Chain A
Amino acid sequence: MTDDLKSAILLTGDVFIEGARLISSLNFQVVAGGWTCLLGGSGTGKSTLLRLIANLPVHAKLNGSLTSPLGLNLRRDVAYMAQADLLLPWATVSENVTLGSRLRGERVDQERLNDTLDRVGLYTLRGKKPRELSGGQRQRAALARTLMEDRHLVLLDEPFSALDAQTREEMQNLSVELLEHRSVLIVTHDPLEAARLGNQLYILTAAGAKLVTAPSGPPPRSTSDISTLECQAGLLDSLKGLA
């Protein structure tokens, strides 16, 4: 199934940190219009790869190539969402969600803002400050901010790892629904999350990104689905084998 999907991002080569090789012979692609999961233990360089793609400052150096077969501009077409919701504590939900427009000095599209807030279920809370929201609501505000940017490539750096299991599943479902047709790269250390969400799954090790067969069926897959659970178990075994 993955073969007929064009890649949004193609990343090949070796990654070095301060002269030492962190990852060698990497060959990794982000599928276009779907979810690519990058799974790995801590310190394997998952976030580093994501930051390389996002054009953010990294200590690491890529000795290879980073291209977009889909023709994406890595400065203009990328939205980023991190584990911390990164909501500005002094700004209201609305102000946080429209941060991109405000930073670029653009006019805020009120209609789109209201629509986006409505879709994440925060319309009534739009005037609240982040500290007045729950963890799940905060992450939904961060998702709304990502949606407002309307970028094709969405990079998610363990965005749901700080949430409780139930809220995490809700956020995963909501994200798949709202980020439909976009190319999503999600970095995670949670095998279940990868099994539920990935059209394409990779396990990142020092020897490169190993492609793993994704469960059948479109994401978000049910947690009670047998192929999801088998995939989760397989991913967990692979991770344990690496440790």
Chain B
Amino acid sequence: MTRYTKFVYPIAFALTLWVIIIELFDLPKYILPGPLDVADSFWKSRWLILEHTYYTASEVVIGILIGVSIGVITALAIAYSESVRLFVQPLLLFSQVIPVFALAPLLTLWLGYGLSSKVAMAVLIIYFPVTISFYNGLMRTPPGYLDLATTMNASKSSKLWHIQVPNAIPSLCSGLQLAAVYAPIGAVIGEWVGSSKGLGYLMLLANGRAKTDLMFSALLMLGVLTIALHGLMSYLTTQIKLRVE
């Protein structure tokens, strides 16, 4: 089976199940529209959906760029300095105890209804996985490499840069792949709490007007967006890993 045809059977199965459920429970369109209704609505509202996709995609991409940068810097700082580690680690853990979703209303209050509160949500949701995966990679450097570097009179920063960072690239890459999947969740939650643009907003709008088929279309688009991001990130990380392996 090729890369693409392997998806044919699972998708056909899901669509069939979808139709069977509608027929079996005799569900009206406004509760669960069929695949054809959704396809029809998707096509009719394609420009509307694309416009909102553009906003969500912007939030997600900016969020990933900022979140990954802050995560990478944090991981380097706590790997480098014991005192920074002792200070930051409890905060990092504490930040995970509070569900990010619960912060969404606050972020909207502080940052407004525009792009920045959604970017902040995406940043918050990916920051921890990126930081921890990179940090673990940095700390899991085989001790023999570091012993060797010690006998070569390497400084701490030099060990970090020449040995620990290259060694942690594969772990960072798995963090990046998680980020590609998590960031859209953050952005959409931000949109639910308060916005006038984006796929999350479109879903709420469609829901309020009982246009369930449009809601499904937006959901479908969100899935496509996330898969595309994940695919792009997989490509990028493979390229990066090829250089360090």
**Which residues of chain A in 70-121 are interfacial with respect to chain B, using CB atoms and an 8 Å cutoff?**
75-76, 78-80, 82, 84, 86, 88-91, 99-100, 102-105
Beyond A86-B145, A88-B163, A104-B158, whether A79 also contacts B244 by CB under 8 A is no
Q: How many residues of B contact A (CB 8 A)?
A: 22
- Bound state CA distance, A91 and B149, in angstroms? 15
B154 in the interface (beta carbon within 8 A):
yes
Chain B, residues 152-179, CB within 8 Å of chain A (1/0): the string is 1111001100110011010000000000
Q: Are A55 and B152 in contact (CB under 8 A)?
A: no
Q: Are A54 and B166 in contact (CB under 8 A)?
A: no
* Contact partners of B158 in chain A: CB under 8 A: 103-105
Minimum CB–CB distance from A76 to chain B (whole Å) comes to: 7
Q: Which of A51, A89, A104 contacts B152 (CB 8 A)?
A: A104
* Contact partners of A80 in chain B: CB under 8 A: 147-148, 151
Closest A-chain residue to B243, C-beta based?
Answer: A90
A149 in the interface (beta carbon within 8 A):
yes
- Bound state CA distance, A102 and B153, in angstroms? 11
The A-B contact count (CB < 8 A) is 57
A56 in the interface (beta carbon within 8 A):
yes
- Bound state CA distance, A76 and B52, in angstroms? 63
Q: Are B147 and A56 in contact (CB under 8 A)?
A: yes
B150 in the interface (beta carbon within 8 A):
yes
Beyond A102-B162, A104-B158, A105-B158, whether A88 also contacts B151 by CB under 8 A is no
Closest B-chain residue to A145, C-beta based?
Answer: B148
21 A-B pairs in the complex with CB atoms less than 8 angstroms apart:
A51-B147, A54-B147, A56-B147, A57-B147, A75-B153, A80-B147, A82-B144, A90-B167, A90-B245, A91-B166, A99-B148, A99-B149, A100-B152, A102-B162, A103-B149, A103-B152, A103-B159, A104-B152, A104-B153, A104-B155, A105-B158
- Given contacts A79-B151, A90-B167, A104-B152, list 5 more A-B pairs with CB under 8 A: A54-B151, A103-B149, A103-B152, A103-B162, A104-B158
